[in-house]
Amino acid sequence: MAKRNMSDIIESYLKRFLNDSEQIEIKRSDIAERFDCVPSQVNYVINTRFTQAHGYQVESKRGGGGYIRILKIQLVDEVDYIDRMIDLLDKNVSDKFAHNMINTMIDDEVMSEREGRILQTLISNETLEPITDFAPEVRTYLLKKAFEQLRIN
């Protein structure tokens, strides 16, 4: 069995609760204590694995009674979902952000795994950097065009 790192373990733990509920509310210190890690590790997991590109919204309140609330983004239909993803695309989409979006869309069955792999190949740094100095801008353009096509089909 492959060894999982602490971030994977914390992510899985939180996602188990999100499978049964639209949202969860946690205290960073409680999660850190449960997994015997530093609170910044919990922040890292939330900031990298529970983003809008992954289909989540995070709210937080600091202080003694503070909390972190993670909500699954629920959209009415596939067109709304794709529109939301298009809205997340800024002018300079990074390779990692784009791959996260595509993986989320595959997981949510908005695109097939095959479509996702093809799109990831087209927008990867490996593909774009040798042909243009504007890889992030080209990536954004290609993603918007691909997502617009998904809206139609």
Return all residues near 31 (Cβ < 8 A) that are at least 6 apart.
10, 13, 14, 42
Report how far residue 88's alpha carbon sits from residue 83's, in angstroms, rounded to the nearest whole number.
9
How many helices (DSSP H) and strands (DSSP E) are in the chain? Answer: 8, 3
d(CA 112, CA 99): 14
pLDDT value at residue 77: 78
Which pTM value belongs to this model?
A: 0.61
Integer Cα distance of 15 and 13 in angstroms: 6
Predicted pLDDT of residue 151: 81
Q: What is the pLDDT along the chain (153 residues), one digit of tens a residue?
A: 455 789 999 999 999 888 888 889 999 889 999 999 998 899 899 998 998 878 888 988 877 667 899 988 766 678 888 888 898 898 889 999 999 999 989 988 889 999 999 999 999 999 999 999 999 999 999 999 999 998 876
Tell which residue, 127, 47, 50, 63, has the closest CA to residue 95: 127
In angstroms, rounded to a whole number, what is the distance separating the alpha carbons of residues 88 and 42? 24
pLDDT at 91: 85
Q: Where are any strands of DSSP class E within 2-143? A: 23-26, 56-61, 67-72
User: How many other C-beta atoms are found inside a 10 Å radius of the C-beta of residue 116?
Assistant: 19
Q: What is the pLDDT of residue 2?
A: 52
- The sign one gets for the Cα dihedral 92, 57, 84, 21 is positive
